[in-house]
Structure 1
């Protein structure tokens, strides 16, 4: 009933506003306005930020004109809809774009090792449970070089600080950092979850990471996101069931003993970055509104018929 009521309200809004095009960004709040646009014949598209096509986006995919995507082959995209895919990327904040030009500072022998640890906007308890104790097991020479910036929940702060202090590891702890893009750019390695925003920001800035996907995310989208970066050589994925003190300590020691591997992963991450996603997405919506997109779709269908994938890396060439 709530969705039907939402569709009715959306129809009334479309009648009043008369938009040239409509775009939805997934999730159930997207369904009523997208359904209303389809019913009224308004050109509609959806955006998928994850490597898995969300359930609402899957539902409306056969009926929208375009599917904007962060990844070139999102899971659950059916072959019949492949020609609608437009590789726009996932829009990121201006503060992230501002750090896109910051060069990666490869760790030097005997120099600082800068590690950034976070678990999404609310923190992740597993990071407080595993990371400090793991780092405490590292050789003393490496512990002295570590400079750890870690996000932790307020209730975990005291115990995390105590472990680091006892291990002699220089640490900055906070429950929230409002300058995360700058901190990502300054670090040598990120340890975190693999939500859509996180992986997009890591790629745009170009930093290597150890990713621990949220195990209960819908459709395992965080695991799919992490796999995309890992397959590109930009990250190392550790599933939470395998994220133990011993496993993490071994991975950290190995990585910081091979700075060339970190440098290569930083370059691979940068190669995955899509800093122009805002412009690409805006170009797509404008083309839909002007009625220019259907010609491109026709070309995509021909490509599929000839054995291609039909994906459109769309741009109008705007500045």
Structure 2
């Protein structure tokens, strides 16, 4: 195999899932991959990195943590940078690909410190607002790959390429599949992001209870819940007589998306890309405290073309959510139109475009 390409990603699934997609793409092309990550990533890492060397770096976030914690975070990031520098030199990595978040900073800074013979540095931004780590590094990178042309807060001087947000192979395969018929019942899929969404455990069952009886009797629910909320949500659906499959995490989300008629979800970047690939209409409730309100920016990508409805969490009641559900579930033609709108902006080939960009930059630096 060739000298490896280092992928730097960690924290939440929103950073790690596109990194997994890229690792799978490179493996299919016979390219060696190394993963630089943090301790939290173990909950989300998949078989995409099974053949990769893994390195857990020192590091903590800095923004919004108070002076003492910010100072400790800065010291950890500095230590992580020196740690990454030694590893990159030993591996003779040809490129470093950062997917945002603090785990991407040490490998990126380490790459930049290696002088004229340094590896290529490529950053990928998943969200509709450029994240703080990527803003810090953007003008020094060889390329800044964006998911959306409309991405906000991109600094002048960044070498921008719009490639889309890579999704995992099982989700790429959903592109172009027909929207499911509604004759056999209606399937509602509720996703809370890689960390779950506690508000949905109360809000969605109450909204289902507020649906007209004739609609509720046709409904089947698949919902992601935090572990501590499972019993409460399960009891609520059982009392309504609504079949429900509940779990803290769905590793096979592609299977659930393939049969869903409507999705209720947060608006993380991976969720947006996956909804577009699967062409599923959605009711999006952005995380209210997301940094720079980036989830609202993400949601607008789908809502502005009619593929989804954006519902701010503040003031959202079960009755309001039920009315939005009825507006889709009772009107198959509207659901199909929303499906087509999502499909029109999907970029299932994003991972190939990103891989091609990285390899072209490696070739330029040889």
1:229 to 286, 292, 302: 302
User: Following the alignment from structure 2 to structure 1, what is the Cα–Cα distance between the partners of residues 315 and 254?
Assistant: 28
2:282 to 209, 233, 239: 209
Show the counterpart of 2:165.
90
Show the counterpart of 1:296.
none
Aligned length: 289
Further displaced range: 37-46 or 257-266: 37-46
Match of 1:80, SS state, is coil
2:98 to 9, 12, 24: 24
Q: Residue 122 and residue 9 in structure 1: after superposition, are their counterparts in 2 closer, same or farther (change >3 A)? A: closer
Q: Residue 164 and residue 289 in structure 1: after superposition, are their counterparts in 2 closer, same or farther (change >3 A)? A: same
Please list the CA deviations of residues 220-243 of structure 1 after superposition, one character each: whole Å capped at 9, or x if unmatched.
221211111111221111111132
User: Following the alignment from structure 2 to structure 1, what is the Cα–Cα distance between the partners of residues 156 and 165?
Assistant: 22
Q: Residue 11 and residue 154 in structure 1: after superposition, are their counterparts in 2 closer, same or farther (change >3 A)? A: closer
8 Å CA contact retained: 1:106, 1:263 = no
Please list the CA deviations of residues 147-206 of structure 1 after superposition, one character each: whole Å capped at 9, or x if unmatched.
112222333223323322333323233333332111111010011111121111111111
- TM-score with structure 2 length normalisation? 0.74
Pairing 1:59–2:136 present: yes
1:68 to 142, 145, 168: 145
Show the counterpart of 1:316.
none
Match of 1:134, SS state, is helix
Show the counterpart of 1:77.
154
Give, in angstroms, the shift of residue 106 of structure 1: 4.5
Show the counterpart of 1:297.
none
Give, in angstroms, the shift of residue 99 of structure 1: 2.5
8 Å CA contact retained: 2:104, 2:133 = yes
Please list the CA deviations of residues 95-117 of structure 1 after superposition, one character each: whole Å capped at 9, or x if unmatched.
21233242112535xx5121111
Q: Residue 225 and residue 38 in structure 1: after superposition, are their counterparts in 2 closer, same or farther (change >3 A)? A: same
Query: Which residues of structure 2 form unaligned runs of 5+?
Result: 1-74
8 Å CA contact retained: 2:176, 2:343 = no
8 Å CA contact retained: 2:284, 2:311 = yes
Bigger RCO of structures 1 and 2 (CA < 8 A, at least 6 apart): 1
User: Following the alignment from structure 1 to structure 2, what is the Cα–Cα distance between the partners of residues 146 and 132?
Assistant: 12
Moved over 6 A (4+): none
1:242 to 309, 312, 315: 315
Show the counterpart of 2:82.
8
Show the counterpart of 2:208.
135
8 Å CA contact retained: 1:211, 1:237 = yes
- TM-score with structure 1 length normalisation? 0.84
User: Following the alignment from structure 1 to structure 2, what is the Cα–Cα distance between the partners of residues 238 and 76?
Assistant: 24
8 Å CA contact retained: 1:208, 1:269 = yes
Match of 1:89, SS state, is coil
8 Å CA contact retained: 2:265, 2:282 = yes
Give, in angstroms, the shift of residue 36 of structure 1: 2.6
User: Following the alignment from structure 1 to structure 2, what is the Cα–Cα distance between the partners of residues 71 and 155?
Assistant: 35
Show the counterpart of 1:48.
125
Give, in angstroms, the shift of residue 292 of structure 1: 7.9
User: Following the alignment from structure 1 to structure 2, what is the Cα–Cα distance between the partners of residues 20 and 165?
Assistant: 55
Show the counterpart of 2:260.
187
Show the counterpart of 1:163.
236
User: Following the alignment from structure 1 to structure 2, what is the Cα–Cα distance between the partners of residues 252 and 14?
Assistant: 51
Pairing 1:174–2:247 present: yes
Show the counterpart of 1:35.
109
Please list the CA deviations of residues 241-285 of structure 1 after superposition, one character each: whole Å capped at 9, or x if unmatched.
132111101111122222211111111111222111221111111
User: Following the alignment from structure 2 to structure 1, what is the Cα–Cα distance between the partners of residues 227 and 320?
Assistant: 26
Q: Larger C-alpha radius of gyration, 1 or 2?
A: 1
Q: Residue 27 and residue 153 in structure 1: after superposition, are their counterparts in 2 closer, same or farther (change >3 A)? A: closer
Query: Which residues of structure 1 form unaligned runs of 5+?
Result: 294-319
